[in-house]
């Protein structure tokens, strides 16, 4: 009986021999005991209530937030230098944080000014006080003694705007800079978020500076909605975007918090110009913002981010990954927050 010989298909014959790709590892937050020096969101403004102490996980430890007598938000290390009690289970007394254990009290500058038993406070009894900004309905804390850069300045005054801030409910399983890397990732913007750039080479639009990047572009968003945006990244954890969307001006300022190494929380503020249609426009911007985070959620929860086999479409992403590897890192609060 004659046998039929099956020849391999062209696909089988031309398939290259698989080779293990070379991955360039990225520095993780907390490697070597240090973290990127950036502004990180830690709470919504509405969560920091007068005369109450709020505990928040931050970096590799814990901090407390409260409002000083002038109403400003303050962020300090969470553990009392007496014997280490957690100040988040304490309370605010006369504008000071009172430890629940022995009633030592710390003023808005983190200095112990009173002990429950009446002994004079030790001169070195103080907490680490972080730089804080409260903007866009969000409380931001800087990892460092002095900020290296400011939060974004919008092209309109706050009193000309309508804002709404929210926290995405789920903690995502990667460092904050991984979400930030989506902004210069042009392949990602095109494939996942369906942005059609007017420019053939959007990489040429990107302007770089010491603490981030910014680029302005025109194109179409999902559903062929016309957009004219300015977008940028500050530090390793702040994203902003403003410009025209479907005929009206909109803005989003989004921060990626760092509750512990290898995880982040998303805080975002949607913004439109005040006016008769502002509330309807704001609802539209909020919906797009939530949809965008939702499109990225499963990717961010499962990625093991490494710099692998990039193509020419990754020109801006490659430069951003180099920026992350060289970014300043420190942990001056290490002896206080854990």
Q: What is the three-state SS of the chain?
A: CCCCCCCCCHHHHHCCCCCCCCCEECCCCCHHHCEECCEEEEEEHHHCCCCCCEEEEECCEEEEEEECCCCCEEEEECECCCCCCEHHHCEEECCEEECCCCCCEECCCCEEEECCCCCCCCCCCECCEECEEEECCEEEEECCCCCCCCCCCCCCCHHHEEEEEEECCCCECCCHHHHHCCCCCHHHHHHCCCCEECCCCHHHHCEEECCEEEEEEEEEECCCEEEEEEEEEECCCEEEEEEEECCEEEEEEEEEECCCCCCEEEEEEEEEECCCCHHHHHHHHHHHHHHHHHHHHHHHHHCCCEECCCCHHHHHHHHHHHHHHHCCEECCCHHHHC
Phi–psi pair at 101, nearest 5 degrees: -80, -60
Q: Residue 253 is encoded by which pair of tokens? A: 């300022």
pLDDT at 82 over 60: yes
pLDDT at 44 over 90: yes
For 95-113, the pLDDT digits (tens) are 999 999 999 999 999 999 9
pLDDT at 91 over 50: yes
Contacts of residue 189, defined as CB under 8 A and 6 or more positions apart, other chains included, come to: 182, 183, 195, 197
Nearest to 227 by CA among 247, 245, 205: 245
Q: What is the pTM of this model?
A: 0.92
pLDDT of residue 40: 98
Phi–psi pair at 140, nearest 5 degrees: -110, 140
Question: How far lies 308's CA from each of 20, 23, 25, 262, in Å?
Answer: 11, 5, 9, 20
Whole-angstrom Cα distance, residue 224 to residue 316? 24
pLDDT of residue 325: 97
Mean pLDDT of all residues belonging to the chain = 93
Cα-based angle 304, 310, 311 (whole degrees, multiple of 5): 150
pLDDT of residue 6: 55
- Which stretch of 16-30, 256-270, 296-310, 311-325 has the lowest confidence by average pLDDT? 16-30
For 184-228, the pLDDT digits (tens) are 999 999 999 999 999 888 999 999 999 999 999 999 998 899 999
pLDDT at 62 over 50: yes
pLDDT at 328 over 60: yes
pLDDT of residue 3: 52
pLDDT of residue 129: 98
Whole-angstrom Cα distance, residue 90 to residue 82? 14
Whole-angstrom Cα distance, residue 107 to residue 235? 30
pLDDT of residue 1: 46
- As a whole-number percent, the residues of the chain with pLDDT over 70 amount to 94
pLDDT of residue 200: 85
pLDDT of residue 19: 66
């Amino acid at each position: 009986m004659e046998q039929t010989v099956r020849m391999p298909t062209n696909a089988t014959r031309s398939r290259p021999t698989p080779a293990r790709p070379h991955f360039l590892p990225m520095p993780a937050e907390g490697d070597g005991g240090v973290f990127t020096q950036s502004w990180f969101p830690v709470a919504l403004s509405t969560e920091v209530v007068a005369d109450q102490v709020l505990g928040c996980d931050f970096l590799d430890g814990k901090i407390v937030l409260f409002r000083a007598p002038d109403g400003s938000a303050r962020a300090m290390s969470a553990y009392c230098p007496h014997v280490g009690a957690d100040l988040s289970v304490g309370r605010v007394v006369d504008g000071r944080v009172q430890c629940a254990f022995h009633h030592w009290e710390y003023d808005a500058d983190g200095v112990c000014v009173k002990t429950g038993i009446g002994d004079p406070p030790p001169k070195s009894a103080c907490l680490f006080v972080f730089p804080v900004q409260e903007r866009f309905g969000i409380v931001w804390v800087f990892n460092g003694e002095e900020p290296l850069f400011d939060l974004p300045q919008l092209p309109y005054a706050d009193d000309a705007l309508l804002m709404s801030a929210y926290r995405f409910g789920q903690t995502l399983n990667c460092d904050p800079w991984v979400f930030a890397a989506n902004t210069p990732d042009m392949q990602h913007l095109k494939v996942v978020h369906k942005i059609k750039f007017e420019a053939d080479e959007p990489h040429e639009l990107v302007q770089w500076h010491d603490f981030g990047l910014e680029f302005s572009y025109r194109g179409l968003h999902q559903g062929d909605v016309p957009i004219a945006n300015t977008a940028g990244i500050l530090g390793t954890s702040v994203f902003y975007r403003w410009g025209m969307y479907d005929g009206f001006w909109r803005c989003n300022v989004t921060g990626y918090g760092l509750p512990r190494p290898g995880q982040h929380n998303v805080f975002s503020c949607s913004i439109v110009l005040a006016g008769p249609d502002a509330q309807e426009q704001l609802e539209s911007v909020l919906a797009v913002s939530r949809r965008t985070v939702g499109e990225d959620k499963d990717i961010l929860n499962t990625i093991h981010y490494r710099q692998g086999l990039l193509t020419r479409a990754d020109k801006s992403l490659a430069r951003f990954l180099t920026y992350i590897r060289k970014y300043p890192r420190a942990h001056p609060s290490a002896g206080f927050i854990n």
